[in-house]
Amino acid sequence: MGTQHRIVSSVMAAAGFGAGYHRHVRPWMYTWGADPTEVDAELPGDDLVGAHLPRTTRAVTIDAAPDEVWPWLAQIGEGRGGFYSYAWLERLVGADIHNADRVHPDWQELHVGDTVWLARRFGPRARQVVAAVAENSHLVLVSPPDFDRLGRGEKASGAWVFVVRGIEGGWSRLLVRGSGGAVGKPWFDIPHFVMEQKMMRGIRERAEKLRSEKVLTSARTPRLVTEAHLR
């Protein structure tokens, strides 16, 4: 009876955890930081994927303008700016990720068809392909097979979308949407949420720091000009 009791208790605990995950944890992860309007909004890239796919929509407010946020997005990827997340975890699973703390001018060009590497050591499929991009606005990434599907006029089975929107006061909203693919599977959803929310906070920290540095530089400039004139 003792063994049976432990088995029953374990099953009930697992069932309770599953119910709690689906009722409370998953909805919170799927809409982290986003308001209902953003969750329901049509974003760039939505037209490229199949309808009714499971999706996540997450958002953060950034005290920086879109053109101060965009450069950090433009340079994401292994061998470039990294993903601004837990790089030590990414390296632990085989990705050679090193997060940049400055904007690299030579990493700012992105075009449809370009590759954004996740981990080269795992081969060509360990990458994303740019399906749509507009400077200071949005970046849409899909898998190589999905990029081929789009080329044939078919829908992609998933997409990873980054959108920057300017808001009042010279601030921005960064929205990240994941559609299809492994979305909906707990083995993917939980670790991806941990990494993605850190990525979004990493972009926010870097963009706000860049803006602060610009403000300090502009504040010093009149004084420097005045002193030079007096000399």
What tokens appear for 203 in the block?
Answer: 């972009």
Residue ranges making up the domain that contains 64: 34-230
Do residue 130 and residue 161 come from a single domain?
A: yes
Do residue 7 and residue 54 come from a single domain?
A: no
CATH number of the domain bearing residue 117: 3.30.530.20
One-letter amino acid for residue 171 of the chain: W
pLDDT digits (tens, 9 = 90+) for 51-68: 889 999 999 999 999 999
What whole-number distance in Å separates Cα of residue 76 and Cα of residue 132?
A: 15
Do residue 140 and residue 125 come from a single domain?
A: yes
If you average pLDDT over residues 183-192, what whole number do you get?
A: 95
| H/E element, 194 | helix 186-230
If you average pLDDT over residues 194-217, what whole number do you get?
A: 93
Collapsing DSSP to helix, strand or coil, 132 comes out as strand
Do residue 109 and residue 6 come from a single domain?
A: no
- Note the pLDDT of residue 2: 58
- The residue among 50, 213, 67, 219 whose CA lies nearest residue 137 is 67
- Please state, for a pLDDT cut of 70, what percent of the chain lies above it: 87
- The residue among 194, 196, 211 whose CA lies nearest residue 59 is 196
Domain count, the chain: 2
- Note the pLDDT of residue 219: 73
pLDDT digits (tens, 9 = 90+) for 128-164: 999 999 999 999 999 999 999 999 999 999 999 999 9
Do residue 44 and residue 20 come from a single domain?
A: no
Mean pLDDT, the chain, rounded, equals: 89
φ, ψ for residue 119 (rounded to 5)?
Answer: -165, 100
Do residue 62 and residue 5 come from a single domain?
A: no
Q: Is the pLDDT of residue 13 over 50?
A: no
How would residue 226 be classed by pLDDT, with cut points 50, 70 and 90? Answer: very low
Do residue 13 and residue 41 come from a single domain?
A: no
State the pTM of this model.
0.86
Length of the chain equals: 231
Q: Is the pLDDT of residue 224 over 70?
A: no
What whole-number distance in Å separates Cα of residue 209 and Cα of residue 214?
A: 9
Do residue 128 and residue 209 come from a single domain?
A: yes
- Note the pLDDT of residue 223: 53
pLDDT digits (tens, 9 = 90+) for 95-139: 999 999 999 999 999 999 999 999 999 999 899 999 999 999 999
- Note the pLDDT of residue 186: 94
Do residue 114 and residue 24 come from a single domain?
A: no
φ, ψ for residue 127 (rounded to 5)?
Answer: -150, 165
What whole-number distance in Å separates Cα of residue 29 and Cα of residue 21?
A: 10
Do residue 89 and residue 172 come from a single domain?
A: yes
Do residue 148 and residue 204 come from a single domain?
A: yes
- Note the pLDDT of residue 221: 60
Do residue 12 and residue 46 come from a single domain?
A: no
What whole-number distance in Å separates Cα of residue 196 and Cα of residue 76?
A: 13
